Amino acid sequence: MSENPTKNSFEIQYEMLLNAIPSSVLMVDRKLQILSVNENFLIKSQRSKDATVGRPLAEVFPLVILQSTGIEESIRNVFHTGIAVKGQKMTYRAPGVPLRIYYYSILPIQIDQIILIMEDVTEQFRLSEEVRRVERHLASVVESASDIVLSTDIDGRILTWNSAAEKLSGLSTQEVYGRYFFDFCDLSQKQMVQQIFQRMKTSNAAHTTEFNLLTPSNSGTILISWVFSPMKDDYSKTVGTVVVGRDLAERRKLELQLRQSQKLTALGVMAGGIAHEIRNPLAVCSSAAQFLQENQISDDFQKECAKKIQANIQKASAIIENLLRFARSSLDTEMVEVDLISVLKETIDLVTNQAKVQKIKIHLSLQKNNIVVSGVQGLLQQVFMNIFLNAINAMPTGGVLSVAINTVEDRVIVRVIDTGVGIAAGELDKIFDPFHTSSPVGQGTGLGLSICYSIIRQHLGSIQAESRLGQGAAIIVTLPLL
């Protein structure tokens, strides 16, 4: 105020106000000369007031800006038409200052003046760029995922469908957009999927399941493991569902291989018992055949020999058949009605030889003669084979292996109890872990019980162990009754 004693208080206030505005304000006359500027412009453009006020616009703004924006022409137009120009973008780099981005407006104020307001939007612009970058990144995460990622509205109509979904199903985003997701599920599972979407409306928790996705291009299906998660808005209101799916074909293949190789390990363990058991009937057949070659044998003895040969060939053949059935059975995977008692009896037959070699008595106690569960016969046999062989291994100097079967309400409980070495308390909770083994290195894979666990889980059952070191062990398998 002391600098300009001639200015009246209105002018001072006006200038203060102008300088306080966080935008650049310039007044320009018809000749495109700058009449006044506020502080903000001087700071942003790194100019002094003297080098700015009274100078032509062309001298104050860099040539490149004048050319790229055509701002001089715009100003002339505003003078000519009296119509304001608003919201234009300008990129301005003053010497020694990083690039700034402005939105500017040209407003006519008096006959011979316009006001040029430049608003620095560098920060907002940077933020929106950042938002766009994050969006692009998220989109590429979803697109690059090898798992199916899709989103639906609250009723299950597909909104997004990533590349993996396109690739696995053979259906493009255009083909599925707006259609119900359950239209692409196996007919038998449609209702179940519909119910999941219904549940998503009110649930906060994810839902995990497995079902087949249709692949119309080859009129087939693929088995997928799915996770459904409710999608919430900022007010925690459910607005849709995110569905992530993983192709199980590869995992199933590996599981199958693992189960098969574990089975071969079990066969190896049984080899000793089998050798003994097959060589007995072979020895009987061999000797009886030699009797038949002798001269002067009675008709009765001849018949007896032939009978013995036939009976013992049958015996050897039955042992081999059991083995074959055990070795091959895991190839079928469909869950069907299975009589658990006959599975257990057949499995006991298979291990009887090995048990005998180790002087182990097997007791089977039954409540009923027929217990039906839903399952894969070969897999259930593999489970009990593993449990029996473990029990036999735990009794190197003989003992008793008891198998007790009870039905309780809607479940069947199979207890396999041995009188063997038992399991130490610390080991008990590890026995179902993969690669956990009490056998010396090279003698056990440590996969047997972990495979049992996975098979029983597949059958919607449970498997537990009870034991004390030196006091035998009990493995308890529970399965739902059909």
Partner 1 sequence: MNKNVLIVDDEPDMCWVVSQIIQLQGLNVFTAYTGEDACFKLSKGDFSVVFLDAKLPDMDGLDVARRIHTMVKERPQVVLVSGYHYRDDPVVRNAQEEGIICCFLAKPFSNEELLSILIALSS
Taking the complex as a whole, the smallest distance from the CB of residue 279 to partner 1 amounts, in Å, to 3
Residue 47 DSSP symbol: -
Taking the complex as a whole, the smallest distance from the CB of residue 386 to partner 1 amounts, in Å, to 23
- 213-237 burial, b at 16+ Cβ within 10 Å, e below that, comes to bbeeeeeebbbbebebbbbeeeeee
* Interface residue with partner 1, options 203, 291, 323, 438 (CB under 8 A): 291
Rounded CA-CA distance 329/39 in Å is 88
Q: Please identify which residue in the block is written with the tokens 């989103």.
A: 151
Is 38 a binding residue for partner 1 by CB under 8 A? The answer is no
* Interface residue with partner 1, options 275, 324, 336, 372 (CB under 8 A): 275
- Kindly tell me which of 207 and 308 has the beta carbon lying closer to partner 1: 308
* Interface residue with partner 1, options 167, 253, 328, 359 (CB under 8 A): 359
Taking the complex as a whole, the smallest distance from the CB of residue 314 to partner 1 amounts, in Å, to 12
Which residues 391-430 are close enough to bind partner 1 by CB under 8 A?
Answer: none
Q: Mask of contacts with partner 1, 295-314, x by CB under 8 A?
A: -------------x--xx--
Rounded CA-CA distance 439/434 in Å is 14
Is 276 a binding residue for partner 1 by CB under 8 A? The answer is yes
Binding residues for partner 1, total number by CB under 8 A? 24
* Interface residue with partner 1, options 65, 101, 154, 278 (CB under 8 A): 278
Taking the complex as a whole, the smallest distance from the CB of residue 468 to partner 1 amounts, in Å, to 27
- Kindly tell me which of 94 and 267 has the beta carbon lying closer to partner 1: 267
Whether the CB-CB separation of 467 and 473 falls below 8 Å is answered with yes
- Kindly tell me which of 308 and 411 has the beta carbon lying closer to partner 1: 308
* Interface residue with partner 1, options 284, 338, 379, 383 (CB under 8 A): 284
* Interface residue with partner 1, options 281, 399, 422, 472 (CB under 8 A): 281
Whether the CB-CB separation of 128 and 136 falls below 8 Å is answered with no
The DSSP H or E segment spanning 163 is helix 163-169
Is 356 a binding residue for partner 1 by CB under 8 A? The answer is yes
Residue 189 DSSP symbol: G
Q: Mask of contacts with partner 1, 222-261, x by CB under 8 A?
A: ----------------------------------------
- Kindly tell me which of 129 and 294 has the beta carbon lying closer to partner 1: 294
Rounded CA-CA distance 81/77 in Å is 6
- Kindly tell me which of 231 and 267 has the beta carbon lying closer to partner 1: 267
- Kindly tell me which of 217 and 397 has the beta carbon lying closer to partner 1: 397
For residue 416, give every residue at least 6 positions away whose Cβ sits within 8 Å of its Cβ, in sequence order, or none: 384, 387, 388, 391, 401, 402, 403, 474, 475, 476, 477
Following DSSP, what letter does each residue of 188-229 receive, concatenated?
Answer: GGHHHHHHHHHHHTT--S-EEEEEEEEEGGGTEEEEEEEEEE
Among 119-127, 173-181, 212-220, 357-365, the segment contacting partner 1 (CB under 8 A): 357-365
Whether the CB-CB separation of 223 and 253 falls below 8 Å is answered with no
Whether the CB-CB separation of 186 and 265 falls below 8 Å is answered with no
- Kindly tell me which of 297 and 324 has the beta carbon lying closer to partner 1: 297
Longest dimension (CA), the chain: 155
Whether the CB-CB separation of 450 and 432 falls below 8 Å is answered with yes
Rounded CA-CA distance 327/368 in Å is 28
- Kindly tell me which of 273 and 375 has the beta carbon lying closer to partner 1: 273
* Interface residue with partner 1, options 54, 56, 272, 470 (CB under 8 A): 272
- SS3 of 376, please? coil
Rounded CA-CA distance 309/305 in Å is 6
Positions that interact with partner 1 (CB under 8 A) = 272, 275-288, 290-291, 308, 311-312, 356-357, 359, 361
